[in-house]
Amino acid sequence: MTRYIYTSFLILFSIISNAQWTEYNTSNSQLPNNTVRCIAFDHDSTAWVGTDFGLVKIKNGMFTVYNTANSGIPDDAIRCITVDSLNRKWIGTFLGGFTVYNDTVWENYSTSSSPLPDDQVKDIQFDANRTVWLATTGGLVSIDSSLVWKISVQFSSPLQSSNIARIYIDPTDNLKIVGTVNGGLSLVDDTSITTYTISNSGIADNSLYDIDVDAAGNYWMASPANGIVVKTNGFGWTNFSPFNSGISTPSLTCLEFDDEEKLWIGSIDSGLIVKDGLVFKSWNTTNSPMLDNYVECLSFAPDGKLWMGTYSAGLYVVDTAALFTNINSFEPQHFSVYPVPAVDQVWIRINSTNFIYEITDALGNIIETKKIKGSSDPINVSTYVPGIYFVRINTGDGWLSQKLIKK
């Protein structure tokens, strides 16, 4: 289906900002919703922002909002935006399939009008052969330059899940690096699919929400339950979690390298994190202007600033160069939980008598929280279901985590 846009509106806005942070939300701008799912930049550095209530174009301090009421976009809930070599915007939605917008015409594809296996499209990428690759909840889709569709799904291919989360295409060899939900990592070339899961490899999690590749060719992936998963270039697997590193949470959503090879990471519960060498540092609601610790997406603009979408607090533009001079570090400190494994009770050992602790399950759900003043009483875990948990503490300088195993 093709429709022309009939109306759009450009509205000047006021913003909240300081030296490092600029904030856009429904109160201080024309952002239509404070849930920001995705961000992309076109050839003239115009920002395109996907929210749950429409697509937003931000250019020269002005907003244009596209929704189903004023344009040909098929769904207001946006899940991904990718710009092709012709400056067309490929936009994936939650319930309406995907659309291709050339700044005049919307060309829509859905399960009712195309071979698309599912109307939720979470990522769109293009390979060196001009093939379009789509991540859907119904399978991995490719559309070649002759408009031939191919759909790979669980049970009829080596894929271990049809719920595809992210696609990264390696420019060095055109390999498709595919992250799934509960199906591990799949590497797709012109003739085969190779899948890695917990059962057949050293991968630390079967769900992978985002992927980037460093200068050495290592694959870095954001896991929702076990931190950063790394497939090293020829040397196996590595994992960074609160159990074995200074990262503040295992619950990650997205990641992206900057030009200096610092890894910037979005989390479900600990805000914005950076890995600089072996040191992890973080900004969240306790030490920055952030009003929400749930980071949905990250994207570096052509000017080098980091654009960050949150689940409930809108959009932040961060000057990371200025920000890096005033941060809290999450290097390992004197904090432990014992005994591990635990049966009935655990204690927190820390050089502080004034702190807040939280206990979360492996998915980041908070089981209990308490503020401690003075010596810490034992924590009763006798009613916990056996499994892996995390104890997180905050002494006022930021959050630290340790792993807790309940027998």
Reported as a single tens digit per residue, the pLDDT across 305-334 is 999 999 999 999 999 988 766 544 333 345
For residue 317, give both structure tokens: 């533009």
Confidence grade of residue 124 (pLDDT, cut at 50, 70, 90):
very high
Q: Give the range among 85-94, 107-116, 203-212, 388-397 with minimum mean pLDDT.
A: 388-397
Burial of 262 from C-beta contacts in 10 A (0-12 / 13-18 / 19+): middle
pLDDT for 50 equals 98
Residue 94 has pLDDT above 70, yes or no: yes
Rounded to a whole number, what is the distance in angstroms from the first to the last CA of the chain? 56
More confident residue, 99 or 288: 99
Per-chain mean pLDDT for the chain: 88
Residue 102 has pLDDT above 70, yes or no: yes
Identity of the residue numbered 109: Y
pLDDT mean over 54-59? 97
| Contact between 34 and 312 (Cβ < 8 Å) | yes
Phi-psi region of 217 (alpha: psi -120 to 50; beta: other; left: phi over 0): left
Residue 98 has pLDDT above 90, yes or no: yes
Question: Edge-to-edge, what's the strand order for the sheet holding 263-267?
Answer: 252-257, 263-267, 272-276, 279-283, 328-329
Burial of 147 from C-beta contacts in 10 A (0-12 / 13-18 / 19+): exposed
pLDDT for 328 equals 44
More confident residue, 330 or 185: 185
Confidence grade of residue 221 (pLDDT, cut at 50, 70, 90):
very high
For residue 375, give both structure tokens: 């010596």
pLDDT for 12 equals 36
For residue 307, give both structure tokens: 């654009």
CA distance to 20, 62, 89, 100, 136, per residue, from 124 (Å): 31, 26, 10, 11, 9
Confidence grade of residue 395 (pLDDT, cut at 50, 70, 90):
low
Burial of 19 from C-beta contacts in 10 A (0-12 / 13-18 / 19+): exposed
CA distance to 142, 199, 318, 396, per residue, from 167 (Å): 11, 22, 25, 38
pLDDT mean over 135-155? 97
pLDDT for 375 equals 57
pLDDT for 397 equals 56
C-alpha dihedral, 149 to 154 to 160 to 163, nearest 10°: 70
Share of the chain above pLDDT 90, in %: 68
